[in-house]
Amino acid sequence: MSLENQDQSTGIRELTDRLTSLELRIGMMEGQIDNALQAMGSAQPARYQPVQADSRESEDVAMDKGQIESNIFEYGLAWFGSLVLFFGIAFLSNFARNYLNGPLATAVGYGAVAGVFFLAWYLRNSFTHLSFMLFLSAHLLLYYITVRLFFFINPAVIPVKGIVLFLLVCIIFIQCYYAIRRNSELLGIIALILSLATAIIADTSFFSLPLIILTALFSLFLFIWFGWWRVMLATMILVYISQTIWLLNNPVMGNPLGAFGSHPFNLACLFIYGAIYSIVPLIRAEGRWPNGIYPATILINGMSFSVVLLFVVASFYLESYVWIFTAITALCLFYSILLKFRTNRIFDPAFYAIYSFMALSVAVYGYSKLPDALWLLALQSLLVVSWALWFRSKIIVVMNTLLFIGIILFYIALYPPVDKVNFAFVITAFVSARIINWKKERLTLKTEMIRNTYLSVLFFTMLFALYHVVPRQYVTLSWTFAAVFYFVMSLILKNMKYRWMAIATVLFTGFYLFFVDLSNLDTGYRVLAFLFLAIISLGASLYFTKRVRKKLDTGSE
């Protein structure tokens, strides 16, 4: 029995040793697998993942909450505190004036501003954003207290307006310097806004208008040098608003609203603003601003210039505006040519060309008045199409087509028919359709929609012009001749569209003959009209039937 027990115990030990060895080998294999997964950037084994994921999520949530709190305390409260400090010192300055004389109250204000400047300087390294906000508030307070040396106060601390304006200009110059030095768009736009505000507050022609021009130039400089396109666009709008306020007699300074202020340089300043911001298309982006800034600048500049120009013309040049729009036409045409050769963009030269032709339309209207000016406007459309061919601009063609149709509808709705105007529309529609078909590849026109539009205009204006130019008994005959003209054009040009126009004219003529001429014409004219229309219809039918059969026979052979 002892031997059996000894053998059993020996077997159990061997089995235990093997299990232990197997467990060690499995542990080594798990360790190697874990090391391989970690080397590949993988996660830990599944049994450890839930705990780690939960800890990471909790850490991320904590970090997000901390970041939000940090932003609120560092940025939000810095803005709010600076705003409150600004109003507090402004009220302090006004409060001091109630108990102290003007110079002492001003000294209190400047002392408070000096304290804000010192605090901003002291915190410049440890609290950067707060220091910047205090610095900004100090500049605004400095401007406000300086303005109150003469303006919006009685009696004035400094009774000479020129001295105060000089101090304000110096403050603005310092703000511009720091905007450039710190590369801060916010400081830049505030400096430009204060510059325009100074121009309005000054209420002096020979100071205000040149200061507005300098502001526009400086905004363009910031755009070119630093790429601050937001500053430039905002300043552009504010420049034109400032000019409009000036034209309204500057009601900000208590002048009566609507009494337009007169000044010989109003028009010149307006042209200078337009010229300054028209330089933008010539500036290369080099990745400093989006390409969409070019059309945005051109559109805002063009629309703003047009609105202010309307005020100027209505105020001073209502009887002599032809030369103004003639000059705009010449300048814009020249500049569109320059842009065509200096830039690769399509919209920029096209816009200035379109604007020049719109100015030409106004000049033509001022020269001839309506409705006589309409025939010149119709012929002008041919010039626009020719210009579009040279520029390879589909935009010009589309805009010209819309304007041409608008002029026709305006003429038909509001004015009695004039023969030269009617046939000017006919000629323009026909020639434009031919030009577009001739050079459609140059214009990159992939569809026939624009050409079909001109052919439709030709069809209706031809009927309208002939109806009003000939006596009533010859209307049917004249329209029949128009159908013959279309048939002939279809043969010469080998174009089926003219053939369809001829068929439509014949049908329209037949409708008019049966429902109008039968009751109004004498028997002789009635017979002549029927016979002539029948001959044309049958002759055209025979000719084209024979031609179609000939093509079919040739094809069968």
Taking the C-alpha atoms of residue 132 and residue 130, their distance in angstroms, rounded to an integer, is: 5
Instruction: Quote the tokens at residue 148.
Output: 């109150």
Averaged pLDDT for residues 536-546:
56
Instruction: Quote the tokens at residue 362.
Output: 């106004």
Instruction: Quote the tokens at residue 231.
Output: 């500053």
Q: Residue 85 — pLDDT band, cuts 50, 70, 90?
A: low
Q: What's the one-letter identity of residue 349?
A: P
Kindly list the distances between the CA atom of residue 520 and the CA atoms of 42, 429, 463, in Å, as whole numbers in the listed order.
Answer: 97, 32, 19
Taking the C-alpha atoms of residue 271 and residue 283, their distance in angstroms, rounded to an integer, is: 20
Q: Which long-range contacts (CB under 8 A, 24 or more apart) does 354-358 make?
A: 354/395, 354/396, 354/399, 354/400, 355/302, 355/328, 356/328, 356/329, 356/330, 356/331, 356/332, 357/329, 357/383, 357/384, 357/387, 357/400
Residues 6+ apart with CB under 8 A from 3: none
Return the pLDDT at 24. Answer: 67
Express each pLDDT in 146-168 by its tens digit.
888 888 777 778 888 889 999 99
Of 45-59, 252-266, 287-301, 533-547, least confident by mean pLDDT is: 45-59
Pair 167, 146: CB distance under 8 Å? yes
Return the pLDDT at 32. Answer: 61
Express each pLDDT in 258-273 by its tens digit.
655 556 677 888 999 9
Averaged pLDDT for residues 212-219:
95
241-260: b (≥16 Cβ within 10 Å) or e: ebbebbbbbbeeeeeeeeee
Taking the C-alpha atoms of residue 416 and residue 406, their distance in angstroms, rounded to an integer, is: 16
DSSP symbols for 114-167: HHHHHHHHHTTTT-HHHHHHHHHHHHHHHHHHHHTTTTT-SS-SS--HHHHHHH
Return the pLDDT at 148. Answer: 84
Dihedral class, residue 536 (left if φ above 0, else alpha if ψ from -120 to 50, else beta): alpha
Domain range annotation of the chain? 9-41, 319-469, 474-557
Instruction: Quote the tokens at residue 381.
Output: 């459309």
Instruction: Quote the tokens at residue 259.
Output: 């009494």
Residue 191 in this model has a pLDDT that exceeds 90: yes
Return the pLDDT at 538. Answer: 56
Note if the pTM is more than 0.85. no
Q: Residue 555 — pLDDT band, cuts 50, 70, 90?
A: very low
Averaged pLDDT for residues 193-222:
92
Instruction: Quote the tokens at residue 135.
Output: 């610095």
Residue 441 in this model has a pLDDT that exceeds 60: yes
